[in-house]
Amino acid sequence: MPSQDVVVGSTSVLGDLPDAGNTAVTTPLQPKCFEEEYQDGRPKGSSALPTDLAAEQPSELEAYVEAVKALEQTKEVLAGRCVRLLTLPVEGVLDVARACSNDHGDGGLAGIRKALEALDGRMDSALVLLGELVASAESDRQGPPAAGQFDGGTLGSLLRNLSASTKHILSQLRSSAETPRADIMGSIQSAVREFSALNRSGFEDDVAIWASRELERHGGPDQRSPLSSAENDPVISASQVGESPAPPPPHFESPELLDESESATELGKDAWDQYDMNGSTDVLDKAIDHFQLALDLCPPGHSNRSQLLYNLANALTTRFEQLGQIGDLEQAINYHRCALELRPLGHPEHSSSFNNLADALSSRFKQSGQIEDLEQAISYHRRALELCPPGHRDRPTSLDNLGTALKTRFEQLGQIADLEEAISYHRRALELCPPGHRDRSSSLDNLGTALRIRFGQFGQVTDLEQAITYHHGALELCPPEHPDRSGSLANLGSALKIRFDQLGQVADLEQAVSCHHGALELYPPGNPNRPSSLNNLANALKARYEQLGQITDLEQAISCYHGAEELLPPGNPNRFGCLANLANALSACFDQLGQITDLEEAVDYHQGALGLCPPGHPNRSNCLNNLASALKTCFDRLGQIEDLEESITYLRGALELRPLGHPDRSMSLSNLASTLCTRFESSKAPEDLREAVDLLWSGAQDTTDTPKHRYTCASRLIPLLEAHNQPSLLDAYDMTLGLLQLLLAVYPDVELRREALGADKLSPSLAMSAAAYAIEQNQPEKAVEMLEQGRGMLYSNIRGYREPVEAVRVANAALADRFKTTSEQLEALATSSLLGPNRLSSESPDEPATVSNARWARQRQLSSERDKIVEDIRCLPGFEHFLKAVPFNILQVAAAEGPIIIVNVAQQRSDAIILYQHNLPIVLPLAADGWNREEAYLMFLSLSHRLFKGRTKAGFSKLLEKFILKKLAKLLVTPVLEKLEGMGVPKQSRIWWCPTSALCALPIHAAGELPVKYITSYTPTLSALISARKVDDQRPPATLNASENEPSLLAIVYPGHPPKTEDEHDDRLKTVFVEYGVIEKAARASQNRAVVRAHATREGALEQLPYHRWMHFACHGRLNISQPFQSAFELEGDPLSLSDLVHAHLPHADFAFLAACDSATSGGTTNTPDEALHLAAAVQFCGVRSVVGTLWPMADGDGPRVAQVFYRHMFKENDPRKSAEALQKVVQLMRKKAGPWKNAKDEGEVLQRWANYVHIGA
């Protein structure tokens, strides 16, 4: 049962559906703190305010005392006016101030906490009243607000900010007993000073209105009284109405103190420059100290004060980003507000102050989650951008920062317009940061991150590729010691991990691990990004463990998860994800090592994670699923029925939270079905089995889900139906084949399709098992249709009829493009990651339901669009069967020129199906002992393995004669020949074999009396044979050096690489040039065909192949068992691989002779036994109509002899359809030791030499 990993500090929680078992699948991480948000005018040094009252500098202590006095005056003004909206918070703040003054050390924090909790409750009440009053004012308002009407503006903002600050300080107190007292006191001071602006905000004009409204709602006398005017503070009141403030009153200025202030400023700038170069936090502390001293020595009203406030605020923000002390951020916000007050509209730094205050508010939003901070930040960023017209030096910074804030709001509210707008701003910012610009690296990273997020929403691969390119570019601009290098490494690592999850390229995963290692090394203890960095590295290591199986990777991952957990105290929103990931890693460790303590720990951590996800939490379903998976494993190991029952309960809970259209619904359906089957095995309760079957059917038939997820449910349904003899099994096979075909249609290349088939335990034999069951049900026509649909799937998207999408493109390019784009996007939504190894998940620890819902809606929309497109394609002439089984009556055309013997080899049963002309299929059961049909499968498998192991050893000819061919004759060939003779098939006529599974590598053509009775050919599929027989009357001449009446043959001749050392065996072919001479001589004698010799290089061959109808390869063939598509012809330099041939464009090629070793065998050990994975089949699928190849290494001396006999006949007939007859003549002479073999005494027994050659195609 799969479990799901989650991300810490990320935009996604990821999971996957493994093929089988209970393995947890690592999910990718995307660090939310790694968006490098640069600010123009970044300070060159700064310092932090002391946060302990006792340690206050006199100016700060006085400011705090003045703030308290101001609030006391406000309280007096409010006395008796029944304005609870203001009375509640003012009294609460004063209570907190009194608690602070009575505090005598850490032990007194309890009193402060009690006062803060009371203030928190009062603020909640005040905000409720505020909402009611605003609503009341809105309902009364007709048209624009008039004077005297209340809109909640500045005062509402002060109340919300105080509420957010209060909750944050309480969070500090509750999160850890280790919270420094100085941080607590500093945060309180900042909150008090900020709220004290109330008495300067002009609120007195609204008090009477508020009091009236409150009294109307709650009863009591209407008490109104004017209060002191905002004119008492000209700077504040004037700035609120957009006027230039009156100059502040003069202050005494000491020249000596000003000189010291300037000196401290210069020292701060020097320290900042050092920090900018080396990123040392010690140097940053010095810069902050110098900036603090400079501010303290600069009196209010001095022209330098705004810049000093600005520098100090920026430096404090930077230290917060490095060390995570919230007191630094609170002080920074306060100083930014003060700086902004001193920089009114028209001031040259007005936009910079808006910008940096907005960034600080964004940072506080990420800590507190108060949406008001984010909304205010976006508003400030927009105002800053308006003040930076094109050409302004701050415009790139404003564009980037506004884009980042909009991106953050998208992650909260899910409005795609915010994300698109963010990308637009980031692109414009990058355009204004050409190479050499100081902010280019941050612009590259920001745009890359935004594109990565959009990839997670829409699955456009171009977005992901562009993101990786931009992240690479950003990293190149951040050399070692650059302060932004850690963020760039983390961003690039996350993007590469996503691409690994998409395409499975291990190189991407290795680089991702390296990037996350590098980022972690640059995050010292205390850095707020260190927990997410540890978690990211752990996820990448766990993915590498699952890919490569190195237990050290898993152990390191567990260590990193533990490290992250220790840094995330209770209450941190990312803690639950870390616990879940750690639990999954421990479960994987248990699976590997079997230590029960690991499993018990995993259950504990899963329970802890679930406790942090109460009802309504977006990740509760993942936690329920993971805990259920661990409990199921406990039951499997310990047998406690309570664990199984509890697992089922949790799985039902997870399923309820994953409605139709949820990306993880199929996982829940599959997991619950599996667990119910486990209970059925012990209880035998039929309702458990029925429910399990219903659940899997539901998942497989869910048209809103992706083909991959549906196929997973269907593939788990089939063995369940088989085991219990369910009558719906044939329908299940039919549906599963269709889903597999649709699933493979969107894989970008043939190698990935092969890996996808090989990774799944069912798909390699799916078509054969389906056909076997159809035969069992007396439906041979259905069996033929299923075999044809399932076999050749690797090549089903490559050429002509074998590439449905490209064939559609010829008829309707727009429709083909829509199908391809929609399918890719749909699969990317399910496969990407911000995604697990195979798909994108829908949730993250920080992702609200709005974003998840937007993604689900997009998936449903794409599914519906894709289905509609498929139906439109099926309306095109000739595409009625697009991506579904071709009817038997069409496939039967393949047997018009001679019998076709389809040999289906499956574990259930093995049969020969004979198609001949327009007759119904004839089924010939194959049984090793006359009744045990399963024995035939095992025997064919054994023959294949023995042939592959013995083909290069002494005694191979004897093995062939006495065992392999003898068994083939008894099991298969002799019964088929008897049936063909009974059907009246003329001797020496042509017949075609279409083998499956292990038979693909066996020499059926050489067994029994077959070589003397019929001319034998093979075909990988019926469709391939039908296509090979089609005549293209409109094809243009395919020649370079000859006319249509004198077509050409391309010869590719290479003896092999010379040995690199004296000790290395020289296996170069000695007769290939003689072979070429024989072909050239035969061509001259016939005068029917020119012979062209290509350069024996990969490039030379690929360049020439499309221009010749006939081709001859005289070279080594190299078989690659582990990667069949890298099997190749050895040429000078790079080899010509099977993959090259599959993707070659050979539209008019008629014939190819592959005089190379292993050109027509797959080795017998491939994970896709129903696929003909060899060079000869690949050449035919490329469009060549007839191919001659070899099953094992050929005798070097036979090359010229075979060429002499074969091409004499071919050039005489000048018809590629005579190639099978030409090969038959070769075989007859070799068997009789006649012709060129009359006096031959070299290179082995005759049997293994003539049985080696096979003909494929028309």
Domains of the chain, residue spans = 56-240, 261-298+315-343, 888-995+1006-1015, 1042-1058+1065-1257
Q: Where is pLDDT greater, at 976 or 83?
A: 976
| CA–CA separation, 407 and 449 (whole Å) | 9
Residue 402 reports pLDDT greater than 90: yes
User: Is residue 470 predicted with pLDDT exceeding 90?
Assistant: yes
176 or 89, which is more confident: 89
Average pLDDT, the chain: 77
What is the pLDDT confidence band of residue 228, given thresholds at 50, 70 and 90?
Answer: very low
CATH architecture of 1042-1058+1065-1257: 3-Layer(aba) Sandwich (3.40)
> What pLDDT is attached to residue 210?
56
Mean pLDDT on 864-892: 83
Per DSSP (E only), the strands in 1057-1169 are 1090-1093, 1110-1114, 1117-1118, 1128-1129, 1136-1137, 1151-1155
Q: What's the pLDDT at 17?
A: 22
Per DSSP, helices labelled H in 103-233 are: 109-140, 153-175, 181-195, 204-218
Decide which of 472 and 181 is more confident.
472
Q: 3-class DSSP state for residue 1059?
A: coil
Specify the pLDDT at position 903. Answer: 94
**For range 1066-1071, the mean pLDDT:** 84
The span from the CA of 562 to the CA of 579, in Å, is 9
According to DSSP, the β-strands at 1117-1118 and 1128-1129 are: antiparallel
What fold characterizes domain 888-995+1006-1015?
Nucleotidyltransferase; domain 5 (3.30.420)
pLDDT of residue 134: 66
- Of the candidates 1028, 917, 1083, the one whose C-alpha atom is nearest the C-alpha of residue 1257 is 1028
| Greatest Cα-to-Cα distance within the chain, rounded to the nearest angstrom | 129
Task: Tell me which CATH code domain 56-240 carries.
Answer: 1.20.120
**Cα 293 from chain centre:** 50
pLDDT tens digit string along 927-973? Answer: 755 556 678 888 888 888 888 888 777 778 888 888 999 999 998 99
Residues 17-27 have pLDDT tens digits of: 222 222 222 22
If you average pLDDT over residues 1028-1037, what whole number do you get? 54
pLDDT of residue 81: 52
Mean pLDDT value across residues 479-490? 89
Q: Tell me the pLDDT band of 833, cut-offs 50, 70 and 90.
A: very low
How far is residue 18's CA from residue 1021's CA, in Å, rounded to a whole number?
A: 31
Q: How confident is the model at residue 662 (pLDDT cuts 50, 70, 90)?
A: confident
For residue 816, give the amino acid letter.
A
pLDDT given for residue 1244 in this prediction:
63
Percent of the chain with pLDDT over 70: 76
Among 803-807, 1039-1043, 1122-1126, 1223-1227, whose mean pLDDT is lowest? 1039-1043
- Between CA 790 and CA 383 the distance in angstroms is 61
Using the predicted structure, report yes or no on whether residue 357 has a pLDDT greater than 50.
yes
Q: Which residue has the higher pLDDT, 754 or 874?
A: 874
Please give the pLDDT value at position 472: 93
pLDDT tier, 707 (very low <50, low <70, confident <90, very high otherwise): confident
Q: What confidence tens digit (pLDDT) does each residue in 756-791 have?
A: 565 555 566 888 999 999 999 999 999 999 998 887
Per-residue pLDDT tens over the stretch 275-311:
877 778 888 899 998 888 888 888 777 778 888 888 8
Angle at 1232 between CA 1228 and CA 1236, to 5 degrees: 85
Region label for 21, one of left (φ > 0), alpha (ψ between -120 and 50) or beta (otherwise) = left
pLDDT band at 227; cut points 50, 70, 90: very low
Cβ(794)–Cβ(750) below 8 Å: yes
Q: How far apart are CA 1230 and CA 1252, in angstroms?
A: 11
Q: Please tell me which of 137-141, 157-161, 611-615, 714-718 the model is most confident about, judged by mean pLDDT.
A: 714-718
Confidence at residue 43, expressed as pLDDT on a 0 to 100 scale? 26
In our burial notation (b when 16+ CB lie closer than 10 A, e otherwise), range 606-633 reads bebbbebbeeebbbbbbbbbbbbbbbbb
Q: Which two tokens stand for residue 683?
A: 């209880």
Q: What is the pLDDT of residue 18?
A: 25
* 1198 contacts: CB under 8 Å, gap ≥ 6: 1230, 1243, 1249
Secondary element (H or E) of residue 926: strand 922-926
What pLDDT, in 10s, does the model give residues 1143-1173?
776 767 889 998 876 555 554 444 444 444 5
> Could you count the other beta carbons within 10 Å of the beta carbon of residue 702?
18
Q: Is the pLDDT of residue 1044 over 70?
A: no
Task: Round to whole Å and give the CA distance between 117 and 120.
Answer: 5
Lowest mean pLDDT among 336-345, 389-398, 825-834: 825-834
Q: How confident is the model at residue 238 (pLDDT cuts 50, 70, 90)?
A: very low
pLDDT given for residue 756 in this prediction: 59
